Amino acid sequence: MKKVCVFTGTRAEYGLLRWVMEAIRSSGGLELQILASGSHYSAPHGWTYREIEADGFRINRKVEMLLASDSPMAVNKSMALAQMGVAEALEEMKPDILLVLGDRYEALAAAVAGLLMRVPIGHIHGGETTEGALDDSIRHAITKLSNLHFVATQEYRETVIQMGEEPRFVYLVGGLGVEAAMRCPILSAPDLANILGVEWKQSAMLVTFHPVTAESSEESIRQMRELLKALELFENFTIIITRPNADEGHSGLNREIDCFVANHPNARAYSSLGSQRYLSCMAKVDVVVGNSSSAILEAPAFCKPAVNIGNRQKGRIRAENIVDCHTDAKDIFEAIRYALSPDFSAKLKDSPNPFGDGKTSEKIVKILMEIGKNTLVKKAFQRFPCAGVRP
């Protein structure tokens, strides 16, 4: 059988990849291999490899790469460790295709290793834009390293083709966030409160704020302080905070979160909720707040209002559930109030979701089963007129 190696390096990315992995495992024509790395093997980020195993998957190889520091130099060294470890794993496992998702530096290291090991690469969620993060450049770099492209919207497909990729290998399959939201068993609010150990007030919000990697760590901390200043005004809310991912500067944001939680009994912070608890929180809270892509990719499936702060997600296609705002406390507060208003909630009921029908993993696996390995050995740069053409 054709061997498909799925690389995962973070909790959020695994939450999206899980259903692709399940579809590969149950396909009957593909052999699933799992290569886990990054924050999955980090105690401060919750040892999230355990979630993969709890879902019944066997991790074929682990690649430990994270250093204690979160400085730019540490991130560079972590990437070097990841590339070496992934190359060794690919040499041993000999997959026919390496599947990576998104825009993380761990995924870039895996893609470079795959390229040099002559393993064809399938990239999920390419063509997107996040101008406020270094992830934007990383995502486009992975696109140029990849042979197969599974994109979420027609606009993203056109972006990948504009980058010189062959149209016949750029597949419009929809977003994995929709599928994750549709397929996840959602916990009731009482069960969720019991599991999380919180008092679930009449109102609740889910907050996730990551480092803004295209700006300085000091600027990310300033923005976090402004966010927390705004949250102080919502004393009657249960505030569920998920800690930032393993990007440069995350430790400074965690210190701010710790201080806030220590002084606000209505707030709790978690290193990792896991997919089911995270999506259950999203389904049950009144509003999602922060700068995470999950507000854009998953929240629309729940018709959940979401406040997107600052530039980290600038350029991404949005459903009508998003309220964009600046990074000062006053603007954040006003944006949350508007997102909670009856007028805003009313317009969400019939708003379309731009990210597909929730059958993304099925489409990806069908393509993987049909594609011939020899077809993917070499790439050709495709040239098109600069404007007026929709391949």
Rounded distance, CA 38 to CA 41, Å? 6
Q: Do domains 2-173+359-376 and 182-348 have the same CATH topology?
A: yes
- Kindly report the length of the chain: 391
Residue 179 corresponds to which tokens in the numbers above?
């599928």
Please give the order of strands across the beta sheet that includes 306-309. Answer: 267-270, 237-242, 203-208, 287-290, 306-309, 322-325
All structural domains of the chain with their residue ranges: 2-173+359-376, 182-348
Q: What is the pLDDT of residues 1-25, one digit of tens each?
A: 899 999 999 888 999 999 999 999 9
- Rounded to whole angstroms, what are the CA distances from 249 to 213, 221, 284, 352? 8, 8, 30, 36
Q: Is 112 helix (H, G, I), strand (E, B) or coil?
A: helix
Rounded distance, CA 220 to CA 156, Å? 28
- Rounded to whole angstroms, what are the CA distances from 307 to 16, 284, 303, 385? 21, 16, 13, 38
Residue pair 206/288 in contact by the 8 Å Cβ criterion: yes
Q: CA angle, corner 148, sides to 31 and 296, nearest 5?
A: 100
Residue 263 corresponds to which tokens in the numbers above?
């002084």
Q: Return the CATH class of domain 182-348.
A: alpha beta
Q: What is the pLDDT of residues 210-220, one digit of tens each?
A: 988 888 889 99
User: Which superfamily is assigned to 2-173+359-376 in CATH?
Assistant: Glycogen Phosphorylase B; (3.40.50.2000)
pTM: 0.89
Residue pair 209/244 in contact by the 8 Å Cβ criterion: yes
Q: What is the full per-residue pLDDT of the chain (391 aa) written as tens digits?
A: 899 999 999 888 999 999 999 999 999 999 999 999 998 988 888 888 999 999 999 999 999 888 777 788 988 999 999 999 999 999 999 999 999 999 999 999 999 999 999 999 999 999 998 887 888 999 999 999 999 999 999 999 999 999 999 999 999 999 999 999 999 999 998 999 999 999 888 899 999 999 888 888 899 999 999 999 999 999 999 999 999 987 778 899 999 999 999 999 999 999 989 889 999 999 999 999 999 999 999 999 999 999 999 999 998 999 999 999 999 999 999 999 999 999 898 888 777 889 999 999 999 999 999 987 666 667 888 887 655 555 5
- Return the number of other C-beta atoms located less than 10 Å from residue 119's C-beta: 24
Backbone angles phi, psi at 351, to 5 degrees: -80, 135
